[in-house]
Structure 1
């Protein structure tokens, strides 16, 4: 048995920083990773997908050249091998940087291999057995593939990272965040795209007006949608994959060259040997934690997507901050302090903070709403990006922002001003009375706030 002061299982966004923090404090620390340093974000999530999205955006802009006063000689074609090469190089730089950093941290040992609990405080990796009084589980999630399609060839968000060609007709199962990013990306690369969604709206977590506008934007680029899908059946076909289903438009048979499954995530708790511990999992297999990320077992924490308290890189990193502050600074910082915030990186992006309009309407609060379409924003017109809108929900009594949505040019960046005001618990009038730079998209936020209307009183 080898004894450590701390063991971190999983080198995703929370793991490396926490391991380095323990090591810097003089603690003998083990960071166990079975596959990739950096986890999903660096290897098959944020970094590669946003790199691919950038390539798709450049191709799309080139095809729109006439709108901006220039012409490109010859046909604009996607060289997917070069697109993938660029993506791979950027990912490699990120992983190399992480490897170089961690390899030079004193008191830290990186152990490559699959970790399996033998008891609450004992972990086996291959022939090694290690133990520590503090153990942190940061193993993330993986793609959920419904049984209906497991028997046919398919891509997930991970395996599609290896594609170096443009699929002729890519069918995407799932009309939410991952599915829509890949739909627009591959449409711009040149694929025919059909998106199948079981709900009657895209991204059903969002307000109806957001789902409708997003659908209109993507349909404008030639993406087809089959909503309200039921009785789905998948089979192999001489031309690829055949999908039969019932939808809002009746019975449909689709034949595509390839299939991408984007129907949610599953926690990577299935092969950790947790049956040998006293850890409590919820009904979906995620590890139960309290507001400080502690599990029910003393000395074990769960961070990142595996605790179901967030499904994003930024929430995983915030988990690290909370745990580190709690252990090393005796802080009372907790996940209860966190305001929901995330983005869908379509073009234009969808950015969301706080609660939705439909969530706000469930309260008894007096509410105000502000709304501004992007076709009324000069900067959007100048950039040829007039799709989308922004809206904000205000508590009329406290004057605090409850939530905001921006679906439009640079929305994923400019929404942070309102998010910071929410964290400060300040009145929306702080932004209303501010002087913003012209010409920008952000300067229209005070305009929107100056035109608030009652929502439910």
Structure 2
């Protein structure tokens, strides 16, 4: 018989929840996680991991199509769409099993069913057969994550108007797709489908694609996407989607108020995420919610003692690595340790389109807005020996420094494998290394990462290879 009393119960087993539970176990707390769907949450089952598998398939297909550039002859390569989808699901399934193994190894109880918090530090779990069990804990963490946001004009029906989940398990590859929204999810799926031959139109309400990135990244990616055959409509709003016929008729309006219609097989709505706050007992317990997010302090305490919240349900970037970091800090505080609060200005963001995007800290415009006088260094991969050898000359590294003290305010990268390079910047920003120190940090040759040192040298007028 499983126990009904714990030191900690976590609602949700995503990258916030399962990481919090494991850290709690390491610190000697008896922990349990409640999960209504798949262990590992959206990130692992329907988000970060399976999408990266699909993107890898698209990249391999592109390599084969450009094999002649590398002196290799390949005939008649075909994209097996269902094979790509199967591989992606297999990768996700094996990762989910991995998390279940980690939970068992750390003696964390898995309570499968719909969890709801109750007053008096209790959690009700209703399993798939409708059986109800009440558990109690000294501490309860809400980590219920988020889901795709819907716009009134683009209601997801999962047949013709789809969200990200359906986009990675379609039965057949669409010939034409309209992608609404050009954040990470939008541009990643646009790249995947375009690479395997779907005709793609991206519609973005803001004046540029990937609008949260530095302006130069947006401009460069738009150029690359257009060259790859995608149509990109910025400052444009989808006003309606007619799904009555065989496909979809998408009506959109630009900022001048001009309307037009485009036909496609499928519309992918990729307009952000909203928190899962419904039917989990927040009102019953009296937990404060503001603008669709649970209100917490710097250690993720809600207004009710013993109740905490982390991840996509609190304000801050809706990213897996943020949820994990928050979970660890929250649990360490619960266990009586003195963790440092999270620095939300030093959180890396990665987008796995091709070329990849990675950034951290201030954009050039935001740094100036904040009152900094800046030094900017930009090094293009076209000047990198490794990038040339790899056939990956698109993109650049752009660094933004505070002119007064040499502090690295932000970094913005577009290029092959830059998502693997951004961690260096996060570490050196945490350690407060100056521009001069970065220039004197010897980087290995030939690597893509040399571009970081070179970009710093550009900012200070010391660049050798430009």
Q: Could you state the TM-score of these two structures normalised by the residue count of structure 2?
A: 0.92
- Is contact 1:370–1:451 with CA below 8 Å preserved after alignment? yes
1:333-380 per-residue CA deviation (whole Å, 9 max, x = no partner) reads 112376121111111111101111111011333321111122222222
Distance 1:366 1:196 in 2: 35
Alignment of 1:121-200 (within 5 A): 121-126=121-126, 127-150=132-155, 153-200=160-207
1:51-105 per-residue CA deviation (whole Å, 9 max, x = no partner) reads 000000000111112222222122x211111111211111111111222232344
Residue 120 (structure 1) shift: 5.4
Distance 2:16 2:209 in 1: 31
**Structure-2 residue corresponding to 1:117:** 117
Indicate which of 56, 59, 62 corresponds to 2:58: 56
Partner of 1:128: helix, strand, or coil? strand
1:24-62 per-residue CA deviation (whole Å, 9 max, x = no partner) reads 555443210000111111101111000000000000111
Unaligned runs of 5+ in 2: 127-131, 462-466
Residue 293 (structure 1) shift: 1.3
Q: Could you state the TM-score of these two structures normalised by the residue count of structure 1?
A: 0.94
**Structure-1 residue corresponding to 2:464:** none
CA RMSD of aligned residues (A): 2.0
Distance 2:228 2:442 in 1: 36
Residue 18 (structure 1) shift: 2.3
Residue 16 (structure 1) shift: 1.7
Residue 431 (structure 1) shift: 1.8
- Is contact 1:229–1:248 with CA below 8 Å preserved after alignment? yes
Distance 2:23 2:371 in 1: 44
Distance 1:151 1:47 in 2: 23
Indicate which of 435, 441, 444 corresponds to 2:451: 444
- Is contact 1:239–1:255 with CA below 8 Å preserved after alignment? no
Alignment pair present for 1:220 and 2:220: no
Q: 1:279 to 1:380 in 2, by over 3 A?
A: same
Q: 1:333 to 1:437 in 2, by over 3 A?
A: same
**Structure-2 residue corresponding to 1:89:** 90
1:404-445 per-residue CA deviation (whole Å, 9 max, x = no partner) reads 101112211223222211110121222201222211122232
Q: 1:2 to 1:409 in 2, by over 3 A?
A: closer
Q: 1:137 to 1:384 in 2, by over 3 A?
A: same
Alignment pair present for 1:260 and 2:260: no
- Is contact 2:443–2:449 with CA below 8 Å preserved after alignment? yes
**Structure-2 residue corresponding to 1:18:** 20
Distance 2:286 2:249 in 1: 45
